[in-house]
């Protein structure tokens, strides 16, 4: 078997590869590339599961980053057990072909108990006194102690939250992806796995904060070209297909390019092939859609008073939405209101599509975990989880980074609340309280969904905004476009 490193560069698309990514661009020119038809929904857990099983959510069950557990009557996001993925994984198939095959799974999701030979994943510790202690989970257990001794603690705040993708006193903007990249080298030197799966999230943060593109720039018309086809006026740096790459992400592109370029050189020096891959493309958004607020106004969503604040009571609600970027699973405890729900969705600005049983079957997401209906946002819109009508009644976790307690994905966690004066002083005070052992809330997150400028989940209109797959072998791909489920066979074919 040949050895392979798959570098998952979150958010990378053809539209972003160019002057700010010279090393990735050079790798692409030497090898073969294909655009990947986005998984549905085009979110982390679903895309990765499509890639690693060769099946759609109908076959593996990962219908989003989270869903409503009907038996427990709870919304559960970002769970980590690989047992949730209900289909055989690529490392299991390859190991069956060659018993000496080994796999390292580094920060790809559903990492725990995956039967990969070596794994590292973020996993905080929650002591009984209410604290949250940043940590990692590894397999074998010994990796945790050894790698932290060699590399230091994983920079958890740089992995998600207001400090992700931002230079802070705790470290540089790219600290999380840099740590993961160094961990990939550490694992390679120590264990030499046949297949290394490496997750590099750096682009994800500022693409959502700022959006990938500045104001659109008109493309060059035929009148603006000379007879030989070249442009009379060359495009300014950072202009791709009539769109200007947002200057706010230039540095992010340069940083991830340096990390990826270093990994390419490292793995190639050890006779390991390299494959570059991404999960989805992020596009500019301007319109948040608050479905649960609309449902509440209709009397379908029920909220419970808890210590003067409101929480969503899914089990008591007639209908509610589980929002995940540009897709929302609609669950109905009262199916008699389905026509009313559909009518409301059809008349909600920003909702581009609604799937019932037939639509779910056609898109390969007909699984019991999926919503009774699925709403898909227009490309410039996205769904929030917000259910309160008065910010003073918002639950305490709404103003915190709390990915497991929130009944939906919340990209506002990437921001510090601009309404907090002297916010850095408040951060210092909260950290001091934590250090001294006091109970405290790190309540720094805004409740303003309009701050978010980039999202994903639907299929972008421009194929330049689709995810990419790039191999180092010029003849490694048979077609310029592949389905997300075909990634499985491409990886398998390279390794075999």
- Residue 137, both tokens: 């989970």
User: Has residue 172 got a pLDDT over 90?
Assistant: yes
What's the mean pLDDT in 3-22? Answer: 98
The Cα angle at residue 406 between residues 402 and 411, in degrees rounded to 5: 70
Q: Do 361 and 410 belong together in one domain?
A: yes
Q: Do 163 and 43 belong together in one domain?
A: yes
| Nearest alpha-carbon partner for 106 in 94, 95, 93, 116 | 116
Q: Do 330 and 410 belong together in one domain?
A: yes
Give me the residue label for tokens 């790039």.
Answer: 470
Q: Do 88 and 205 belong together in one domain?
A: yes
pLDDT digits over 340-385, tens only?
Answer: 999 999 999 999 999 999 999 999 999 999 999 999 999 999 999 9
Domain count, the chain: 2
Please report the pLDDT score of residue 434 as a whole number. 82
What's the mean pLDDT in 67-71? Answer: 98
Order the strands of the 32-37 sheet from edge to edge.
136-139, 118-122, 103-106, 195-200, 4-9, 273-277, 468-471, 32-37, 481-483
Q: Do 280 and 300 belong together in one domain?
A: no
339's CB contacts (< 8 A; 6+ apart) are: none
Please report the pLDDT score of residue 269 as a whole number. 98
Residue 239 counted as domain residue: no
* Three-state secondary-structure class, residue 419: coil
Residue 305 counted as domain residue: yes
Q: Do 52 and 169 belong together in one domain?
A: yes
- Residue 461, both tokens: 């209109």
Please report the pLDDT score of residue 212 as a whole number. 98
Residue 224 counted as domain residue: no
Residue 220 counted as domain residue: no
Q: Do 251 and 156 belong together in one domain?
A: yes
What's the mean pLDDT in 306-327? Answer: 98
Q: pTM of the predicted model, to two decimals? A: 0.94
pLDDT digits over 89-119, tens only?
Answer: 999 999 999 999 999 999 999 999 999 999 9
What's the mean pLDDT in 152-167? Answer: 97
| Nearest alpha-carbon partner for 9 in 77, 19, 1, 27 | 27
Q: Which domain holds residue 394?
A: 287-452
> pLDDT-derived band of residue 131, with 50, 70 and 90 as boundaries?
confident
DSSP 134: -
What's the mean pLDDT in 438-464? Answer: 95
**CA end-to-end span of the chain:** 5
Q: Do 368 and 279 belong together in one domain?
A: no
Q: For residue 41, say if its preceding peptide bond is cis, omega within 30 degrees of 0.
A: yes
pLDDT digits over 468-489, tens only?
Answer: 999 998 776 889 999 999 999 9
State phi, psi for 202 to the nearest 5 degrees: -55, -40
The H or E element spanning position 138 is strand 136-139
pLDDT digits over 238-266, tens only?
Answer: 545 568 999 999 999 999 999 999 999 99
The Cα angle at residue 402 between residues 401 and 405, in degrees rounded to 5: 160
């Amino acid at each position: 078997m040949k050895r392979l490193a798959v570098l998952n560069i979150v958010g990378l698309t053809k539209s972003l590869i160019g002057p700010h990514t010279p090393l990735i661009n050079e790798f692409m020119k030497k090898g073969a590339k294909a655009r990947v038809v986005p998984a549905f929904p085009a979110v982390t857990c679903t895309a990765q599961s499509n890639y690693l099983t060769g099946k759609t959510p109908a076959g593996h069950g990962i219908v989003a980053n989270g869903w409503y557990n009907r038996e427990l009557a709870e919304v559960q996001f970002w769970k980590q057990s690989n047992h949730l993925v209900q289909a055989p994984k690529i490392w299991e198939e390859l190991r069956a072909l060659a018993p000496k095959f080994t796999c390292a799974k580094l920060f790809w999701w559903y990492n725990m108990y995956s039967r990969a030979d070596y794994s590292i994943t973020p996993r905080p510790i929650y002591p009984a006194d209410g604290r949250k202690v940043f940590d990692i989970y590894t397999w074998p257990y010994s990796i945790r102690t050894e790698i932290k001794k060699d590399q230091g603690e994983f920079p958890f705040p740089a992995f998600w939250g207001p400090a992700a993708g931002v230079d802070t006193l705790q470290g540089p903007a790219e600290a999380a992806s840099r740590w993961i990249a160094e961990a990939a080298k550490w694992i390679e030197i120590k264990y030499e796995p046949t297949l290394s799966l490496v997750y590099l999230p750096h682009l994800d943060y500022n693409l959502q904060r700022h959006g990938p593109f500045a104001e659109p720039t008109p493309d060059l018309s035929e009148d603006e070209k000379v007879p030989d086809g070249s442009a009379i006026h060359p495009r300014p740096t950072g202009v791709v297909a009539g769109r200007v790459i947002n200057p706010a992400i230039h540095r992010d592109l340069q940083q991830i390019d340096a990390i990826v370029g270093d990994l390419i050189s490292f793995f190639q020096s050890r006779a390991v092939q390299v494959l570059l891959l991404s999960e989805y493309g992020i596009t500019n958004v301007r319109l948040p859609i608050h479905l649960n607020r609309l449902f509440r106004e209709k009397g379908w969503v029920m909220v419970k008073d808890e210590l003067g604040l409101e929480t969503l009571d899914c089990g008591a609600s007639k209908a509610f939405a589980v929002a995940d970027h540009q897709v929302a699973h609609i669950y109905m405890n009262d199916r008699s209101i389905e026509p009313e729900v559909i009518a409301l969705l059809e008349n909600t600005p920003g909702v581009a599509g609604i799937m019932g049983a037939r639509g779910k079957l056609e898109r390969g997401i007909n699984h019991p975990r999926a919503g009774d209906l699925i709403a898909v946002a227009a490309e410039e819109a996205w769904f929030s989880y917000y259910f309160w009508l008065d910010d003073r009644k918002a639950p305490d976790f709404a103003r915190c980074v709390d990915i497991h307690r929130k009944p939906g994905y919340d990209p506002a966690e990437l921001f510090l609340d601009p309404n907090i004066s002297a916010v850095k002083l408040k951060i210092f005070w909260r950290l001091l309280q934590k250090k001294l052992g006091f109970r405290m809330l790190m309540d720094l997150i805004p409740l303003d969904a309009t701050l978010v400028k980039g999202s994903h989940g639907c299929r972008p209109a421009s194929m330049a905004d689709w995810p990419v797959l790039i191999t180092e072998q010029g003849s490694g791909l048979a077609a310029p476009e592949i389905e997300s489920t075909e990634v499985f066979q491409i990886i398998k074919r390279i390794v075999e």
